[in-house]
Structure formats: C-alpha cells, structure tokens
C-alpha cells in the first residue's frame, strides 16, 4: 500500500534531520486519497486533483511539490510511479514586509509592557520577554522555551529549536541584570516549573497569549497599522534586531561577508540566504545599498 511507502519515506527524511510535521500529514492524506481511488502508485492526475482541493494557489503548489518529491523518491525504485508537473506554478512562499521598530518605539513598548495586566507578574514577564527579544533577536518559540539551565555565564543556550540546531546567544551585561531581576520575581510564582517565562497560573507562556499581549501594547503606544502597512508582531523584534545589526556592518567587502556569516549563525538561520533577505526587506538598508552603489559608480567614472 502507498501509505506504507509514505511511512518509510517519512522515517528516512526524519533520520536525515527534517522534522517533517505537516509534510507527513499531507502525504498520508494523499495516500488515503489514492487508496480511495484504488491506486497504489503515485499518479500525476490523482496528485493534481488532490492538491487542487487546497484553498489557495500557493497551498496547491506547496501540496503538489510535497508529493512530487515523494514521487521522485519512489520512482528511483519503481519507474511506474509518475512525477507530477508543477501545474500550479513554483512552490514559493512570499515573505511579508516586516515591521521594523525604531529605538523610541521599542522603549515605549517596554515601558507600557511593565504595566500590562492586572497582576504585577504579567508586567514583569512581558517587559522582560519583549526586552529579551529586542536585544537578542530570538524567535518567540525559543524565548518561551527557555529553561533555567539554559542561562549560563556565557549567555543563553538555545537548544535544538528550528532545524534542530543549538547555539549560544551572548547577553549584554544589562540584559543579564534585567533577566536576573525578573527571575527573582518569577521563582515564587511557579517554584516547580523550570521554564523561565510563565503565566500568572504558573504554566509556560502560550504563543497566542504573547501575541495578544503584544497587539494590545502596540495599540496603546500608537504603532501605525492598517491596509497596506506591515503588521507588527512579536517576531518584529527579531526582524528589527537583524536589520539594526546589518546597519552596523563595516563597509569593506571581506568584513561584510564575515559579518553576514556571523549574524546568520547567531540568529540560527539554516543558511545565509535567510540573512541576506533582510537587505531587501528594510527600506533603510536598501537606501544604504543604493548610496554605496552610487558612490562606487562615481569613484569608478
């Protein structure tokens, strides 16, 4: 049965280091769809019809691409399997334009966060959490997943997060002091839980609660919002960190290369292309690049 082959394929991909979460769900869905049609081989028409059930063109292309990679794997052993053509276009995810916060906006956000909620611990938790995101560029999942043992004298140990990569994130002395102050307030709230950031009920913070608090705070400080404008989210603090780090990059070519590689490793990107994306994502950086380009042309002429 095709579902058995799907399981073997998933096990192989996971053994290679891929999490293969939603992909496995899609492939089992396709295998079930094929079984209902009495098919135990990958058929192009069946794959296209199954993928076409998705609501958007991007999702159709994404689902079909998942089956296509599986079909290539199967066809290596049995040429009767068919590899579908990309009839929905390339599998491509268009990144949304990030909201880059100014230094004054971050300061106002943290000031407002300190007074968030009815319980004093809510203000302490969210002001510390958002401050940590702003000064380290952590992913929100990495920050709320921190444990006591991850705080070391050398910085924060980010363990096996996205792409199963672990890394050490250095902390400025002021950030270490703020984090230690928060832990002194936090330990009595949930003495049996070793998560760094917890709710007033003593449970680990949920991403939806963090996003909800962030949206309330951004409305209070008056961040611009509306049709056609980037949406500010907790992840915007990570984007802001990356952009500000790139703005401090030295101008020499070799220095730029080393700076980009170091920043890519620091942020836990799977490859440096994810870091280079920030060069085109922020108008400030695009303006800097344009000015450098104009200066180069003037000096060369």
State the catalytic residue, choosing from 159, 167, 235, 259.
Answer: 235
Q: Is 157 a member of any domain?
A: yes
Q: Is 120 a member of any domain?
A: yes
- Answer whether 83's CB lies under 8 Å from 47's CB: no
> What residues contact residue 143 under an 8 Å CB cut-off, 6+ apart?
129, 132, 133, 197
- Per residue of the chain (301 residues), give pLDDT as tens: 899 999 999 999 988 877 888 899 999 999 999 999 999 999 999 999 999 999 888 899 999 999 999 999 999 999 999 999 999 988 776 677 888 899 999 999 999 999 998 898 999 999 999 999 999 999 999 999 999 999 999 999 998 665 567 888 999 999 999 999 999 999 888 888 899 999 988 888 999 999 999 999 999 999 877 777 888 999 999 999 988 888 777 666 667 677 778 888 888 877 667 777 777 666 666 676 677 777 777 777 6
117 and 216 inside one domain: yes
136 and 199 inside one domain: yes
**238 given a catalytic annotation:** yes
**235 given a catalytic annotation:** yes
Residue 118: strand, helix, or coil:
coil
State the catalytic residue, choosing from 43, 63, 139, 186.
Answer: 139
DSSP state of 63: H
Name the domain boundary from 189, 221, 253.
221
Q: Is 91 a member of any domain?
A: no
State the catalytic residue, choosing from 126, 182, 266, 278.
Answer: 278
- Answer whether 162's CB lies under 8 Å from 271's CB: no
State the catalytic residue, choosing from 19, 80, 162, 258.
Answer: 162
For residue 219, the model assigns a pLDDT of 94
State the catalytic residue, choosing from 26, 238, 239, 266.
Answer: 238
Number of domains the chain is built from: 3
Name the domain boundary from 221, 244, 278.
221
**139 given a catalytic annotation:** yes
Query: Which pTM value belongs to this model?
Result: 0.71
Radius of gyration of the chain (CA): 24
Q: Is 6 a member of any domain?
A: yes
**95 given a catalytic annotation:** no
Q: How many CB atoms lie within 10 A of CB 14?
A: 13
Beta partners for residue 152, in sequence order:
155
Q: Is 98 a member of any domain?
A: no
117 and 188 inside one domain: yes
Name the domain boundary from 191, 221, 251.
221
Provide the domain limits for residue 57: 2-75
> What residues contact residue 20 under an 8 Å CB cut-off, 6+ apart?
10, 13, 14
**Residue reference for tokens 């938790």:** 125
**278 given a catalytic annotation:** yes
**60 given a catalytic annotation:** no
193 and 263 inside one domain: no
Residue 199: strand, helix, or coil:
coil
Q: CATH code at 126?
A: 1.10.443.10
For residue 268, the model assigns a pLDDT of 83
């Amino acid at each position: 049965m095709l579902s058995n082959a799907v399981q073997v394929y998933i096990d192989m991909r996971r053994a290679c280091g891929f999490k293969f979460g939603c992909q496995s769900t899609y492939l089992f869905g396709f295998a079930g769809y094929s079984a209902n049609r009495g098919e135990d081989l990958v058929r192009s028409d069946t794959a296209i019809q199954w993928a076409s059930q998705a609501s958007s063109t991007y999702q159709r292309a994404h689902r079909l691409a998942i089956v296509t990679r599986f079909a290539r794997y199967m066809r290596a052993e049995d040429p009767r399997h068919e590899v579908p053509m990309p009839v929905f276009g390339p599998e491509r995810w268009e990144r949304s334009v990030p909201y880059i916060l100014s230094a004054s906006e971050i300061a106002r956000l943290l000031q407002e966060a300190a007074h968030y909620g009815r319980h004093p611990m809510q203000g302490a938790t969210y002001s510390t959490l958002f401050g940590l995101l702003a000064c380290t560029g952590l992913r929100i999942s990495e920050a709320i997943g921190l444990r006591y043992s991850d705080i070391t004298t050398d910085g924060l140990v980010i363990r096996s997060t996205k792409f199963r990569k672990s890394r050490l994130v250095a902390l400025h002395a002021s950030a270490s002091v703020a984090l230690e102050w928060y832990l002194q307030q936090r330990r009595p709230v949930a003495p049996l839980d070793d998560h760094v950031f917890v709710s007033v009920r003593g449970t680990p913070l949920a991403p939806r609660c963090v996003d909800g608090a962030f949206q309330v705070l951004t409305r209070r400080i008056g961040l611009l919002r509306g049709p056609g404008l980037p949406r500010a989210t907790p992840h915007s603090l990570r984007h802001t960190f990356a952009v500000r780090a790139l703005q401090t990059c030295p101008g020499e070519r070799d220095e730029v290369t080393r700076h980009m590689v170091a920043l890519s490793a620091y942020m836990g990107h799977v490859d440096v292309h994810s870091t280079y994306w920030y060069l085109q994502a922020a108008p400030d950086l695009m303006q800097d690049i344009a000015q450098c380009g104009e200066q180069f042309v003037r000096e060369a002429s």
